[in-house]
Amino acid sequence: MSSSQQAKSREPIQPAHLDRRASGVLLHLTSLPGPHGNGDLGVEAHRFVDWLQHAEQTYWQMLPVGPCGNGNSPYSAQSAFAGDPLLIALAPLVERGWLRSSELEGVSFPNERVDYAASERFRARALRLAFDRARGTLDLRGFRERNRSWLQDYALFRAVKRAHNDAEWTSWPAELRDRDPQALSDARRELADEVEYRCFEQYLFDEQWTALRGYAHAKGVSLVGDIPIFLAHDSADVWQHRELFYLDERGQPTVVSGVPPDYFSETGQRWGNPLYRWDVLREQGYRFWIDRMRAMLTRFDVIRLDHFIGFHRYWEVPGSEKTAVNGRWCAGPGSPLFQTLAAELGTLPLIAEDLGAVTPEMKALRDEFELPGMRILQFAFGTDTSANDFLPHNYPRNTVVYTGTHDNDTVVGWFEAREELASGSESSTRSPEQVRKEQRATLRYLGAADGSNIHWDMIRLCLMSVADTAIFPLQDLLGLGSDARMNRPGQAKGNWEWRALAGATTQALAERFADLTRCYERQQQR
C-alpha cells in the first residue's frame, strides 16, 4: 500500500493545540536522506513521520518550502505560494509510468550535504521527462481554478525567467517587466508549453504534500511551517503586485529591509527585501496576506511568523545604501492586520518569532492575539542584558522553547566553541573569556559536572520547563557538532546544505526521546 493510500485509509486526528504540553523536531525536508540529491516528500518523509510517532512527538517543524532563490535560501523564495520542485519525490512518478527506474540510476550524490546545482539539474531532467509522458492524462483545470490568484502568474514568471537565462525580472524587456497586457498575452502564447510544465510541477507538489500531511495526521503528527515576513525582490509576487511595494519605475526597491547595528554587527544587516506599502495593503483589505495565510494553512497546522517584530516596526534602509547603518524605524501594520486575518480565517495557530530588538509595544501586539513567543536556550547563559528572559525559570507557559534554531550553531558546536574562538575567528561574537563564562554558567544551571552530554542535558531542560511547546533541531538530538549547522547568517555560501545520514533516526534514539517526553508529560494526545 502506498503512503497516500495509507493516509486515506485512516481518519486524521485533530491537530494539537499550542496551549497543551507537547514537543517536536525541527528538520527541513531537504535534510532528509534519499537517493536523488536532497530530501523530498517521498518515502523518507513518511518514515520520519513514523519515527516521530514512535518518539511520542506532536510536531514536525520545517523551514519555508517555496522555490529557493538566491543562495539556496528557503527564506528567499521565488514565490510565497508555490512549492519547491526540488521537494517532489521521483519514485512515485515511476509507479505512475511517467518515469523509468533506469532513468533515476547512474548518478550519485553526496550523502551529508546537498549539492543544489547537481540535484536541480537531475530532478529537472526527470520532471520534464515525466511531463512529456503525462500529457493528455491529467486535467489540471480544477487545480488551476483553486489556485488562480497566484498559479498562472507564477508559472509565467518562471517561464519568462527561463527564456531570459534566469535573469531577474527587472532586467527583462520593459513591456514584460512592466506587465503590459499585450506582452503578457503574447508571452503566455509563445511560452505555453513551459507555463504548462510549471503548473504540472505545482500539481505534483500539491498532490504529494497532501498525501504527506494526511499521513502525518494519521500518525498524530502536526506540521509546523514558517512564513518570512518579507518577500524576495526577484519573485513572482513582487513582479505580480508591484503596487504593494516601494519600487521605482524600473522595479528597483527604493527602500529595503534590514536590522540596525547591534552587538552582532557594527553595520547592521542589510537584508535587501523590498518593503511593503502597508497603506496600500490596508486599502485592499490586506487581501494579499489573507491569500498567503490561507494557502499556508492548507499545508501546515501551525505557522511560525518569522521576524514578528516587523509587524510592529521595521528598519527601513534606503535602497542605495550598502549597509544598514543609515536606516530608520517605521511603523508596521500592527493589530489591524491580525484582526483582519482573524475575521477572515478564524483563530490562527501562529508562533511569533519575537527575537531581536524587543519593545513593550511588540510584546503587547503578540499578547493581544495570545500568540506564543520563542525562547532559545543557548541565549540564556551569555552576558546580553536579555539573557535572563531565556532562562527556563522565567518562561511564561505560552512559549515555544528551542535549544537552537536554523540560525544557531548546534548545542554541541555552541558549547565547544572555545577551540574556534582560541584560533581568533573573526566570525565569532564572543571572546574566549565570554565563552568560558557561558560554559560555567551553563553547567552551573544544569547541575552538570561537565559538558560530555551537553545536548541531552539541554534537551531535558527544555522538556522539563513550563513552556507549553518544546522543539529541537534533529542535529541536537543526534549530538552533532558545528559541521551540521544549517545556516550561518552573513555567510553567503555553504548554508542550507546539511543532510541526515540514512539510519540516523534509530529506534534507540526514538525510545530515549520518548522516555524523556513522557517523563515531562509532553507525549502525543490520543
- Within 8 A by CB and 6+ apart from 526, the residues are 220
Is position 395 within any domain? Answer: no
Is position 387 within any domain? Answer: no
C-alpha cell at 298: 492548507
From first to last of its 526 residues, the chain has per-residue pLDDT tens of: 344 444 443 333 344 478 899 999 999 999 999 999 999 999 999 999 999 999 999 999 999 999 998 899 999 999 999 999 999 999 999 999 999 999 999 899 999 999 999 999 999 999 999 999 999 899 999 999 999 999 999 999 999 999 999 999 999 999 999 999 999 999 999 999 999 999 999 999 999 999 999 999 999 999 999 999 999 999 999 999 999 999 999 999 999 999 998 766 789 989 999 999 999 999 999 999 999 999 999 999 999 999 999 999 999 999 999 999 999 999 999 999 999 999 999 989 999 999 988 999 999 999 999 999 999 999 999 888 889 999 999 999 999 999 999 999 999 999 998 555 555 555 566 778 888 899 999 999 999 878 899 999 999 999 999 999 999 999 999 999 999 999 998 788 899 999 999 999 999 999 999 999 999 999 998 7
Whether 387 contacts 379, CB under 8 Å: yes
Is position 446 within any domain? Answer: no
Enzyme catalytic residues: 306, 353, 407
Q: How far apart are CA 253 and CA 230, in angstroms?
A: 13
Q: How far apart are CA 431 and CA 421, in angstroms?
A: 7
Domain containing residue 234: 3-372+468-519
Question: Which CATH number characterizes residue 502's domain?
Answer: 3.20.20.80
Report how many domains make up the chain: 1
Q: How far apart are CA 362 and CA 340, in angstroms?
A: 18
Number of H helices, E strands in the chain: 21, 12
Q: How far apart are CA 171 and CA 12, in angstroms?
A: 47
Three-state secondary-structure class, residue 126:
helix
Is position 396 within any domain? Answer: no
Q: What is the pLDDT of residues 347-405, one digit of tens each?
A: 899 999 999 889 999 999 999 999 999 999 999 998 888 899 999 999 999 999 999 99
> What is the amino acid identity at position 108?
S
pLDDT of residue 44: 98
Is position 409 within any domain? Answer: no
pLDDT of residue 417: 81
∠203-209-214 over CA atoms, to 5°? 130
Long-range contacts of residues 366-372, Cβ cutoff 8 Å, at least 24 apart: 366/308, 368/335, 368/338, 369/338, 369/342, 370/398, 371/305, 371/308, 371/398, 372/18, 372/398, 372/399, 372/400, 372/468, 372/469
Is position 402 within any domain? Answer: no
Measure the N-to-C terminal CA separation of the chain; round to a whole number of Å.
25
Q: What is the 3-state secondary structure of 171-218?
A: HCCHHHHCCCHHHHHHHHHHCHHHHHHHHHHHHHHHHHHHHHHHHHHH
Is position 455 within any domain? Answer: no
pLDDT of residue 5: 41
Burial of 187-198, coded b for 16+ CB within 10 Å and e otherwise, reads beeebeebbebb
Is position 343 within any domain? Answer: yes
pLDDT of residue 426: 52
Q: What is the pLDDT of residues 388-398, one digit of tens each?
A: 999 999 999 99
